[in-house]
Homo-oligomer: A and B are copies of this chain.
């Protein structure tokens, strides 16, 4: 994948909520980024290590996670193509979590120094980064709510709805559903459940006719009902936040 494609996608990400003036756009496109393709399960960030670069997902999926003392894993966020994986690394000395690819992925890798320089000298780029972080924090809050106060069936429905929404934003949604790029164990780790119980919950939603399945391809014949089951409202995704 050519480096220009790389930076186009980063730019699109930054401009999702607020357009940038031409000078800023050029500065973004002039970043010294390079592309890189990696297999599934590649570590992009390791807890406790100092960050080395800013990574943007061009294609493929990724997740962040932490391991607790018992050895259990909790996935704390999912990332889709276009997501900037590590604004964290901009100003924090050590990573507080791991990040790993879920699938094969193409990455844009930007040196931290260049990204810092950009954010420092371009207030509107800084604002775009800030907005992205605000929205990420909002999603984290909703995940806390999901895990803390909803039962397994609702949690799963909520995750499926969120993924559908986010796929939709970046134009990756098919008319009849999508392929969720996660094993049932990974879904469990994202929802604070065991894989066995995820399996039970999938079966439940399936038998109720709320989802259909062909392997990992999931269809949503009654999206309205599914959203109700998952108590899902996309407000927390702040989809339409353009500010003058």
Residue positions of A touching B, CB distance < 8 A: 17, 47-48, 64, 66, 68-70, 72-74, 76-77, 87-88, 90-94, 96-97, 119-121, 123, 126-127, 129-131, 133-138, 140-145, 147-150, 191-192, 231, 235-236, 238, 240-241, 243
Contact = CB atoms under 8 A, between A and B. Distances in A.
A139 B190 CA distance: 17
Contacts of A120: 123, 127
- Copies of this chain in its oligomeric complex: 2
Contacts of A147: 144, 147-148, 192
Contacts of A87: 134
Contacts of A141: 64, 66, 76-77, 96-97, 140
Given A66-B145, A96-B235, A147-B147, 17 more contacts: A47-B235, A68-B149, A70-B149, A73-B149, A76-B144, A77-B141, A87-B134, A88-B134, A88-B138, A91-B131, A91-B243, A92-B241, A129-B130, A133-B133, A137-B140, A144-B144, A147-B192
